[in-house]
Structure 1
């Protein structure tokens, strides 16, 4: 299975995870015939077992809450598993699609908020100089890539990139990501 080549490090994905997500790109295979999947295998791509477990458990719970059958991959697929092992596990789950998420990039950003000039002679200028000092904040912008694969064809049928400001609250971040993506998956007819 060619899916194994996508098992790249995602450790920073949830370590520098995001609190609110915006979708920056989205694609659906227009030739995919469907029907919407009712059985999903969830695969978080990361070197951290903890982050992977949190990610997969959260997505599975959210998908099951929508009435779908969903299963974590970590119980059966070790990180970096061989193609043969991966193929056997996927077949055994009966999943129709595989949902994967991985880190695409982390960029350090600066946000500079300037203030206007002060007037009124030296005393007005002096007080205004303190007030007009710009606020500078540094943050990490995290970009994640989530891909859905059709098990039968082994092809990508849906892909989205999301962006957010990094945070260390992994459980909340993963819930936010699931709440962003699951409605999109439903609206696009990828899942029931």
Structure 2
């Protein structure tokens, strides 16, 4: 739990969200023999208590729909403060075998410029089209999330993944998309039952 406490204390990013997710990196502890968890405490690292509650409730609902008992951490851990002691008590009190933690790792602003080409049909058609065409410019945020699973019995990190997607403020929808991306992977990797 010491590593988890450090993670909870040092995370200072607002929990953001993405519209579509791609897994960019994944690690599983090769020495971890299980068993797969059937009960998970869900933690969303965020300065916004509203975003945290929405994330934890939504992800917990998807875990439960997949047959895994889930408890949101906000039920025991107050917003904005160190939560290591209440988290330890929550995990022990619920009998959870694992703790799933998601935080924003970074947000990058990107600009996409798509040129529109000039018309053809001889020099005069090309020349007029070159002046009339303007590029399409799109600005967007790419959010990288880190989701880690800690074994509650050993207090060790057993699985972690980074995901990337385009930023959005619709937290329930994007949490659903994150859950739909990660829960099957967690099950196939033997982390969850």
CA distance in 1: counterparts of 2:125 and 2:88, whole angstroms: 74
What are the residue-to-residue correspondences of 1:122-133 with 2, within 5 Å?
122-131=124-133, 133=134
Give the one of 9, 13, 19 matched to 1:10.
13
Identify which range, 74-83 or 170-179, moves more after superposition.
74-83
Identify which range, 182-191 or 110-119, moves more after superposition.
110-119
Any conservation in 2 of the 1:118–1:129 contact (CA below 8 Å)?
no
Any conservation in 1 of the 2:73–2:87 contact (CA below 8 Å)?
no
CA distance in 2: counterparts of 1:166 and 1:66, whole angstroms: 26
C-alpha offsets along residues 56-115 of structure 1, whole Å, 9 cap, x if unaligned? 111111111111111111001123335333322221111100000000000001112223
What are the residue-to-residue correspondences of 1:112-191 with 2, within 5 Å?
112-119=113-120, 120-131=122-133, 133-191=134-192
CA distance in 2: counterparts of 1:82 and 1:76, whole angstroms: 9
Aligned residue number for residue 31 of structure 1: 31
Aligned residue number for residue 103 of structure 2: 102
Q: State the aligned residue count.
A: 188
What is the Cα-based RMSD across aligned positions, in Å? 1.5
Alpha-carbon spacing, 1:138–1:60, altered in 2? closer, same or farther (3 Å): same
CA distance in 2: counterparts of 1:87 and 1:178, whole angstroms: 24
Alpha-carbon spacing, 1:65–1:81, altered in 2? closer, same or farther (3 Å): same
How far has the Cα of 1:188 moved from its partner?
A: 0.5
Any conservation in 2 of the 1:108–1:140 contact (CA below 8 Å)?
yes
Aligned residue number for residue 82 of structure 2: 81
Does the residue aligned with 1:105 lie in a helix, a strand or coil?
Answer: strand
CA distance in 2: counterparts of 1:82 and 1:172, whole angstroms: 27
C-alpha offsets along residues 107-144 of structure 1, whole Å, 9 cap, x if unaligned? 0011122234444223431124323x322211100000
TM-score scaled by length of structure 1:
0.92
TM-score scaled by length of structure 2:
0.91
